[in-house]
Structures are given as C-alpha cells and as structure tokens.
A and B are shown apart, each in its own frame.
Chain A
C-alpha cells in the first residue's frame, strides 16, 4: 500500500489525471466487453423486466430534466421580475446573465451543510429529499409529447394528486425536526395552507373528469386535439380558474407564498436549513412551478396539441440516403456556412477585423442551422412538434407565475384560509354540480332525440 501511495505522490498532476483516465478507460472497456459477451443474457433480463427498466430510465430522465428546468425558471424569475421593476437584472455571468442561476446552485453546494444541535438528524436530512422526490415523481405522469411520457397510467391524475400531497409530509418533517419552534410553526402553517387548497384543487378537476370520463392524462390530451376550441378551458372556465389559483397556493407561489415569505418572516420551515439541503427546497419550489404549469396546460390548454390542425407536410428528406455524402456534408457545411455568413460582415464593415467577422458568421450560421434543423424536426416528427408546443405553453404559464410574483402583494394568513374555505370550496362545488347537471341534461336531450 505504501508503495502505491509513494508512486502516486511522485506523479505530476497531468500524470495523475492521465493515470485516472487510463483506469477509467480500462474499466469501461472491460464493461463493454462484458456487455458484448453477455449481451443475450442481459437483453433477456431487460426484456423480462421491461416495465421496471422503463420506470427506472424514465425516473432518471425526469430527475435529470428537473435540474436545467429549475435553472431556467430561476433565471426567468430573476430576469422577468427585474424587467418589470425597470431594472436590468442579471447580466454578468453568461449571455444576458443566464448562467447566474447555475452560480446560485454552485454557491448553495459550497455552503456549509449544518445540522442544529438537538435536531432529529435523520428526519432533518430526509425532509428535503421527500419534498424534492414528491415533485419529481409527480412529473412522471405528465405527457410531454405523443409517446414521450414517464408512465401512462389510467389513474394518472389521481396518482399526481396523491404524490403531490407528499410535499406536505416533507414540509412537516422539516418543520418538526429542526428543533426550532419557529420552524415548527412555519411547517404547520404551510401544511395548513397546502391541505386547505388541496380540496378545491382536486374538486375543480372532478368536473373535468365527468366530462372526459378518464383519469389518464394521455387520454385527456387526446380528447382536446384539433382546433383550440376543443380545449377544456372553454368547457370548464371556472374549473380552470379555480385550478390555477389553487395550484398557485399549492406550489407556495406569490400571492400565496406565506410558507416562506422571504421578505417578512425568516424562512418558515426552512429556517434551520443551509447548504444543499436548503437548495433542495429551493429547487423543489421551482420544479413545482414547472409542474403546475405543465398540469394546467395538460388539463385545460390542450397539452401537446397545436391550437389549430397543422397542415400535413411531408418532407422527402432522409439523411441516411446520402450515404458517405452525409459525412462530407457534416464536415463541410459548418465551414462553408461560417464563411458564407461571415462574408457580408467582412465585406460591408471595413472596420471589423477578420476574426470578428468569422466569429459573427459562426454565430449566425449556428442560429440558422439550429433553426433549420428544428424546423425540419418540427415538420418531420410528431413528438418534436408536440414537445415544442407543450414547452411553449408551459413556459407561457411559468411566465404568468413570474408575472404574478412581480405584481401581486402577499395575502394575509386569515385572508388566505378564508379565501380557500369561503370562496374556492363553494365555487369548486358549484362548478362540479353544474357540470354534472349539464352532462345529465345533455345526455337526456340526446337520448330523447
């Protein structure tokens, strides 16, 4: 052992990196060889457990997806609220300051992860995990595009509300285990809020379920295909409104962000949290924003459907048919494109150095190329078009949340609870009864004819 340590210490830093890479490469090669040798057996195992494999892959993909999503939403929030306040907002890190949220993430990672004396360390550690996991798992059932979803369940909506309700458990865990009466109060407060709004949230969707006759989110989206008049928001306007307000409260967003009113109280249930454990709460909040926006779009705004029937265009363009030519195109087109787009800058601007013209040409070529490829994919693949429509609508709603945060003042706790029980609950019940009655009447009329 000492010999190995001594040898390691004698190596220069590049040598150490190289050695580590060599070891990793050897392990990967060995793994690949094993994979090839035992490919039949492995494939058999995968095929036998396909649902489990699918679930693991989907959960991992969703988990990985949440991180950039949260970053984007944090950036949108910082920039959007700044612009509404007549400020510029983040503009130092990255293009237009877009990497500032990444810096925030790194900062949170580097901070001390502190557990207060007397805290229940196990529960204290698991609370952010529960909160984050509840968010990520509820994202599993949302259909992003035709054929692009984590799990297709016939009770997807029920699953969504059930798993989403787990958040309360996490918040209570955090509040209770912190060994701080203010944290406990904050946790109870947020639990009271979330549970109160869960009732109108669920009831507002029941009317929709009566209309659709299914709980599968996929089926709900398919029901809304065609023109945008088929969207459920036009059949259930009150339901959509109640759902939107209740979801805002559920995700602890302004004007209902009493759980951690960052300008008034310390931090509610998250008072004693620091470092990445706090970061998980923070992330979960923004993932929740994405989730409620996505669910609003899925339930009431047509999901991945385009608002109007898209003209059927087929491009007879198969990249595989070019053969070896494809390789040449891939090698040459960026170069030629860069030169082509650099030429006008270089010719028209004598004051511009050649390298600047080349950089500009490269950037312009990239924009054009990405647009062209995306356009081709949009036309050729259903799921790309669906994903783009879905993301556009979802981020539209995310912007609405940001917009609301930049506009509305926070409500008082008694106003919050009063609004939930005195207005939202009766309104959702009214919506439910009216929808049910309308369905019966329409059925009777149709049956009568």
Chain B
C-alpha cells in the first residue's frame, strides 16, 4: 500500500521496541508456578491403590468431560460383571472378539453377562412413566428402581437406557457415583451375622486403634 521505502522496517522496529517494554511471558518454573484451572488433574493415568486394585471406578466423568473426545473407556466394571463402554464400539477388543465368534456361528460365552438375569420390567416402566422418561431425573428413577427391586439389575438399567435414550455408560456412571445405589442384592441378615462372627467388634477395633495411636489427641477426640 505504502510506497515509502523502508516504512516496513520502521514498523517492525517499532513493534520490537514495544515488545521490549511489555510484560514477559516466561514463567520461571521451579520458583513460580503457572496458574492452573481448578479442575486441572495433571497427566491422565490409571492409578492403583495400596492393595493393587485399580482406583478407577469407571464413573466415565473423565470421558464425558473430555472436550475433544480423546478419552474413550471400555472394559468390565470393578466387580467383573458388566461391560461398560464410552466411545465408539469398534475400538474395544472384547466387542471385536464377540463379533468374530458370532460370525463363526457359535454362541458367545461372556462371563460379564452371567449376572444379567431377566426380571419383570413392569415396575421399571411404571417408574419411568412417573418420571416422564426424563433422563435429567436419572437419580430419582434409579432410586425408584432400587426401591422396587432392592438393587439395580442390569436388565433394569438396560431398560432405562432404552426408554430414556441415556447411554448405558452414563447411567452406570451415575449409579456407581452414589454410594447408596447398588448393583447387587443387599446381603441378608444371616449373612451379616455370619460375617460379624468372623470380624472383631467395632469397639475392640477402636480400642486397639486408640492404644496404637496413644498420644494422638486428634484421634481420641474424634472417637470419644
């Protein structure tokens, strides 16, 4: 545009001179920490607890939150019963194996569906009707189902998924997040008593703990 020779040089020099006085972008790392977003979790990695069990609860929150969908999850839940997926099905090995078996003409043995008992779905449908098949009221639906059956059967979750349109993995994630929702029948009183017989009583345990933590005031205050 301009035909003044050297004007570009002057503009460039002015730019660098302005940069010279601007605040700097460097962060002197060990001394200064960069500002982190509050939900920053560092590198994504599956951790094991001290008993060697995966800490991941398969709650799918990471996969749901991932804005570019680079996280996909697949596998068996913590008790080895259900297949849960997040992401395209073709990425999962078990699914591929299954289809290969199916193509070979044999039935597909899958231990994950051993606990998938058929149930009477009338109660589930009634609860869904009551909540207008609204996936936003998933917690109430799940609580209702648990109230009707005593636990959340796989067939019920599949039904909820089919009716409301919510993904199975999402429902499973919601259900596994709340500690009062369970995926198996509650242990009956006899079983509880049998377990209690083998277990030292709570008071004896606390007393031993107190003795071991003698001198720790905080602990004592909490117990008594």
* Alpha-carbon distance between A408 and B11 when the two chains are bound, in angstroms: 11
Interfacial residues of chain B within 1-51, with CB under 8 A of chain A in the complex: 9, 12-13, 15-17, 19-20, 22, 24-26, 28
Distance in angstroms between the alpha carbons of A91 and B26 in the assembled complex: 12
Partner of B24, one of A80, A86, A404, A406: A86
Instruction: Report the minimal beta-carbon distance from B78 to chain A, rounded to whole angstroms.
Output: 49
Bound CA span A88–B19, Å = 12
Q: Name A409's closest neighbour in chain B (CB-CB).
A: B12
Asked if residues B24 and A88 are in contact (CB atoms below 8 Å), the reply is yes
B14 CB to nearest chain A CB (Å): 9
Residues B33-74 near A (CB distance < 8 A): none
Residues of B with C-beta under 8 A to A404: 13
Interface residues of B, count at CB 8 A = 13
Contacts of A80 in B (CB 8 A): 20
B8 CB → nearest A CB, Å: 10
Task: A209 to B9: give the CA distance in the assembly, Å.
Answer: 30
Q: Are B20 and A83 in contact (CB under 8 A)?
A: yes
Q: How far is the CA of A85 from the CA of B17 in the complex (A)?
A: 10
Contact, CB under 8 Å: A407 / B15: yes
Which residues from 100 to 123 on chain B have a C-beta closer than 8 Å to any C-beta of chain A? none
Residues of B within 8 A of A449 (CB): none
Chain A residues closer than 8 Å to B15, beta-carbon distance: 407
Among A67-126, those with CB < 8 Å from B are 80, 83-88, 91
A95 CB to nearest B CB, Å: 16
User: Considering the chains assembled together, what is the distance between the CA atoms of A85 and B24 in angstroms?
Assistant: 8
CA distance A91 to B16 in the complex (A): 21
Centre residue among A80, A84, A403, A404 by max chain B CB count within 10 A: A84
Roughly how many angstroms separate A408 CA and B14 CA in the complex, as a whole number?
12
Mask: chain A, 168-184; 1 = CB below 8 Å from B; 0 = not: 00000000000000000
The one of A85, A91, A408 that contacts B19, using a Cβ cutoff of 8 Å: A85
- B34 shortest CB reach to chain A, Å: 15
For the side of the interface on A, what is the size category?
10 to 19
Q: Please give me the residue from chain A that is nearest to B17 by CB atom.
A: A403
**Residues in A whose Cβ lies below 8 Å from that of B20:** 80, 83-84
Residues of B within 8 A of A407 (CB): 9, 12-13, 15-16
Across the interface, which residues of B come within 8 angstroms of A91, CB to CB?
A: 28
Is the beta-carbon distance between B13 and A88 smaller than 8 angstroms?
no
For A391-409 the 0/1 string (1 means CB < 8 A from B) is 0000000000001101110
Bound-complex Cα distance A91 to B28 (A): 10
Q: What residues of A have a CB within 8 angstroms of the CB of B28 in the complex?
A: 88, 91
Distance between Cα atoms of A80 and B20 in the complex (Å): 7
Is B25 a contact of A86 with CB atoms below 8 Å? yes
In whole angstroms, how far apart are the Cα atoms of A88 and B26 in the complex?
6
Query: Which of B17, B19, B20, B22 gathers most chain A CB within 10 Å?
Result: B20
Within the assembled complex, what's the spacing in Å between the Cα atoms of A247 and B150? 91
| A407-428 CB contacts (< 8 Å) to partner B | 407-408
Contact, CB under 8 Å: B9 / A84: no
Q: A84-B19, A85-B19 are in contact. Are A408 and B24 (CB under 8 A)?
A: no
**In the docked arrangement, what's the CA distance between A86 and B16, Å?**
9
Whether A86 pairs with B19 at a CB distance below 8 angstroms is yes
The smallest C-beta distance from A416 to any residue of chain B, in angstroms, reads 15
Contact between B17 and A408, CB atoms less than 8 A apart: no
- Residues on A with C-beta less than 8 A from B19 are 83-86
**Given A80-B20, A403-B17, A87 contacting B25 (CB threshold 8 A):** yes
Contact A403 B13 (CB under 8 A): yes
Chain A nearest CB from B152 CB (Å) reads 56
Residue of A nearest to B14 (CB): A407
**A80 to B15 Cα, complex, angstroms:** 14
Nearest CB on A from B63, distance (A): 37
Residue of B nearest to A83 (CB): B20
The answer to whether B9 and A408 touch across the interface, beta carbons within 8 angstroms, is yes
Quote the shortest CB–CB distance from A395 to chain B (angstroms). Answer: 15
Contact B13 A86 (CB under 8 A): no
Judge whether B17 and A87 touch: CB under 8 Å.
Answer: no
**A37 nearest CB across to chain B (Å):** 60
Please report the C-alpha to C-alpha distance between residue A229 and residue B17 in the assembled complex, in whole angstroms: 26
Q: Give min CB distance, A422 to chain B, whole Å.
A: 13
- Nearest A residue to B6 via CB reads A241
| 8 additional A-B residue pairs with CB within 8 Å, beyond A84-B17, A86-B25 | A87-B26, A91-B28, A403-B13, A403-B16, A403-B17, A407-B15, A407-B16, A408-B12
* Residues of chain A at the chain B interface (Cβ within 8 Å): 80, 83-88, 91, 403-404, 406-408
Question: Footprint of A on B, CB under 8 Å?
Answer: 9, 12-13, 15-17, 19-20, 22, 24-26, 28
What are 28 of the A-B contact pairs (CB < 8 Å)? A80-B20, A83-B19, A83-B20, A83-B24, A84-B16, A84-B19, A84-B20, A85-B19, A86-B19, A86-B24, A86-B25, A87-B24, A87-B25, A88-B24, A88-B26, A88-B28, A91-B28, A403-B13, A403-B16, A403-B17, A404-B13, A406-B16, A407-B9, A407-B12, A407-B13, A407-B15, A407-B16, A408-B12
The 10 A-B pairs with the shortest beta carbon distances in the complex, nearest first, are A88-B26, A407-B16, A84-B16, A86-B25, A407-B12, A83-B20, A84-B19, A84-B20, A406-B16, A88-B24
